[in-house]
Amino acid sequence: MTLQRHRPATIEDVARLAGVSRAAVSKVLRNAYGVSDSMRERVNAAMTELEYRPRIAARAMRGRTFTIGIELPDLGNQFFTRMVHGAVGALAGTPYQLIIAPAEEGSREGRRAIEALIDRQVDGVIAVSPRVDQPALERIAASAPVVMFGRLDRSERYDAVAGDDVAGTAAIMGHLLGLGHERIAHLTLPESDPTGTLPHGVRLREYDRAMERAGLAADDLVWRTDEGQDAAYRAVRAAIEAGSTATAVFAAHDELAIGALRAIAEVGADISVAGYDDVRIASHPSVGLTTVHQPGERMGARAVELLLERLAGRTEPVHEVFETELVVRTTTRPPAG
C-alpha cells in the first residue's frame, strides 16, 4: 500500500481559509503595522490548522526570514536564561523564532558568533557580548538591526538595553559599608577595565569610588577570576588561604558570588558575600544571597520589541536603562568582632 503524501500548505491556502487576501497574510507574517487583532487571529488560526510553515529560503529571497538571533557569551549564567525567557515571551503571537549562538570567551569569538547569525540571514541580533567593540557592532548593524544587551553604548546605529550599574553598585556598596565593613573585596573578571563602559568595568569603577569616598584602601582587594562558579571558587579560596583580611566580598555577578560562597563555607571563614543580577537560585532559602536585582525578563522582552520596531521602520536609536533594586538576604551581616 502506497501512502499518499499531502502537499505543503501555501500562503494562498492560508488566505483562502482565513478569508483574507494573500497580501493580508503577508502583512501578518511580517508583523506589519495596520493589521487588526481579528485579522491576525484568523490568519494565525489558519496557519495552525494547515500546519503552514513559510519556507526559509523563500523568506530570505523576499528580504525576511522571521528569525532573531541572540548571541550569548556564557550559557551557564542564569541571568541570561531569564533574559531569553523574556525574549521568547515577547515573540509570542508573532511569526518570529529565536536562534541562539553561544560564544566562547573573548571579543573575537563573540564577533564570530554574531557574524554567524548574520550569515544565516537572521532579521536582527541581540548581542549579549560586552567584549565586542562598538565599531565592530556598528559594522554589523549595517547588515541587520542590532540591540546591545547589558551595556549602554551611545551609538547612532544600534539600540541598547542595560541595567543601571552605577546605581546598583552604589546600593550594594552602601549596604556593605553601612554594616561596618571596611575590608570589602571585589571579585570581578579579568577584562573589567574601570575606565570603560562594559558592565563589569562600570561596577569596578563604582566600587573603587565608593571605597575612596569612605577613605578605604582597595589596592589588594580586587580579586580577578575567569567566568563560572568553579573559577570564582578557586580565586576566593586562594585569596583566603593567602591570608586575606577581607570581611566581605562584592561579586560582579551572582554566578561568581555562588562560587565565593562555596569557598568560604569550605574554609569556615566568616565573610559576607553580595552578588549582582538576582538569579533564581539567589532567593532559595539555602542560599539567601544578598544581590542587586535586574529585571532580566523585562529587559529581554524590551530588546525584542526594539528589534521589531526597527524592522517596522524606526531609524532613531533607543538607549534604555532599567532601574535596579538592592535585595538584602542572609549572606551579608556586620563583620565579626
Q: Could you give all domains of the chain from N- to C-terminal order, each with its CATH number?
A: 11-53 (1.10.260.40), 67-163+295-322 (3.40.50.2300), 165-294 (3.40.50.2300)
Q: Which residues pair with 222 in a beta bridge?
A: 186
State the pLDDT at residue 104: 64
d(CA 330, CA 204): 24
Backbone angles phi, psi at 25, to 5 degrees: -60, -40
What is the pTM for the complete model shown?
0.79
State the pLDDT at residue 1: 37
Please give the span between the terminal C-alpha atoms of the chain, in angstroms, as a whole number.
Answer: 85
What is the DSSP secondary structure assignment for residue 290, as one 8-state letter?
B
Residue with cell 506589519: 32
Q: Which amino acid is at 53?
A: R
- From residue 175, alpha-carbon distances to 135, 168, 206, 258, 329 in Å are 37, 11, 14, 19, 11
- From residue 337, alpha-carbon distances to 61, 173, 247 in Å are 70, 21, 11
Mean pLDDT of 81-97: 92
State the pLDDT at residue 258: 97
Q: Which amino acid is at 21?
A: S
Mean pLDDT of 16-34: 79
Residue with cell 534604555: 320
State the pLDDT at residue 270: 96
HSE toward the beta carbon, residue 65, CA cutoff 13 A: 19
State the pLDDT at residue 289: 98
Q: Which three cell numbers stand for residue 212?
A: 575612596
> For 238-252, what is each residue's pLDDT tens digit?
999 999 999 999 999
Q: Are 333 and 176 in contact (CB under 8 A)?
A: no
- From residue 322, alpha-carbon distances to 47, 161, 326 in Å are 37, 8, 13
> For 204-226, what is each residue's pLDDT tens digit?
999 999 999 999 988 889 999 98
Q: What is the mean pLDDT of the chain?
A: 87
State the pLDDT at residue 130: 63
Q: Are 229 and 258 in contact (CB under 8 A)?
A: yes
State the pLDDT at residue 309: 93
Residue 48 has pLDDT above 60, yes or no: yes
Mean pLDDT of 284-312: 95
Q: Which amino acid is at 280?
A: R
Helix (H) or strand (E) run with residue 325 in it? strand 325-327
CA-wise closest residue to 32 among 42, 23, 41:
23
Which ranges of the chain does DSSP label H, i.e. alpha helix? 11-18, 22-29, 37-50, 56-61, 78-90, 107-119, 134-141, 165-178, 199-213, 229-241, 254-267, 296-311
Q: Which of the four pLDDT bands, split at 50, 70 and 90, describes residue 5?
A: very low
Helix (H) or strand (E) run with residue 249 in it? strand 248-251
Residues in the chain: 337
Residue with cell 489558519: 46
d(CA 194, CA 284): 32
d(CA 324, CA 193): 22
| Whole-angstrom Cα Rg for the chain | 24
Q: Are 206 and 173 in contact (CB under 8 A)?
A: yes
Q: Which positions ≥6 away from 302 have C-beta within 8 Å? A: 86, 90, 161, 320, 322
